[in-house]
A = this chain, B = another copy of it.
Amino acid sequence: MSDRRARPRAGLTRERVVDAALAFVDKHGIAALSMRKLGAELGVEAMTLYHYVPNKEALFDALIDRLVSALAGIEPESGERGQQWLGRVARTYRGQLLAHPGVLPLAATRPAVSPDSLQVIETALRLLELPPARGLDMVNAVMTFVLGHTLAEAGRAPGAQSDVDSLGHLDADRFPLLAQALRDGARHDERFEFALEALLTGLFATDLRSEASE
């Protein structure tokens, strides 16, 4: 047999299928993704895809893995402390989610237990130099915070981009402070940075206090 032992007539691959799925979701949203349409995008019938993916759920998991695997490659820079590294991971995760907002509802709904995501956690625990259970709490808090925050920002239907956009018709008499807040509101990036810094600060300050008191 030759080297390329898997060369079907359409040159399909599990990787190419996932690629196409991600592109499709980026363009049309997760709700529009069906096996038939994805097959059409690849010039193939729906059932053909089942040769590369056991079912649609597995395809969803593969999409999530694409985003998370980018985090596994984040190495600690020299002299960097756990807090800085965790901040960089959080920002990268957010970047990935924003680059593929269609995957956001999936990432929020399905557990991230791929080897890559476990690797990220393991690295975090090593860098933090804290009791592992406490470090896991921190990582968990940061990752879930990023997910929740990004979800509120971009995880909506493709139409309305943000809460602010969908509230242009707000009743300023009933909610005067909210109306003003939306007028003066910061950009999403700034709001994320503000909240992330607050969380990290709080996490590490809280931990220091509990260490001192024990």
**Chain A residues proximal to chain B, CB less than 8 Å:** 105, 108-111, 113, 115, 118-119, 121-122, 125-126, 131-133, 135-138, 140-141, 143-149, 151-152, 155-156, 160, 163, 166-167, 170, 174-178, 180-182, 184-186, 191, 194-195, 197-203, 205-206
Contacts and interface: CB of A to CB of B under 8 A. Distances in A.
Given A108-B155, A199-B145, A132 B206 contact: no
Contacts of A125: 177-178, 181
Given A133-B181, A205-B201, A109 B105 contact: yes
A182 B152 CA distance: 29
B202 A198 contact: yes
Contacts of A136: 178, 181-182, 185
| A interface majority secondary structure | helix
Contacts of A111: 152, 156, 160, 163, 166
B137 A175 contact: no
A28 to B, nearest CB: 16
A184 B110 contact: no
A203 B202 contact: yes
Contacts of A195: 137-138, 140-141, 203
Contact of A109 (B118, B155, B199): B155
B181 A135 contact: yes
Contacts of A137: 186, 191, 194-195
A132 B186 CA distance: 11
Contact of A177 (B132, B170, B194, B202): B132
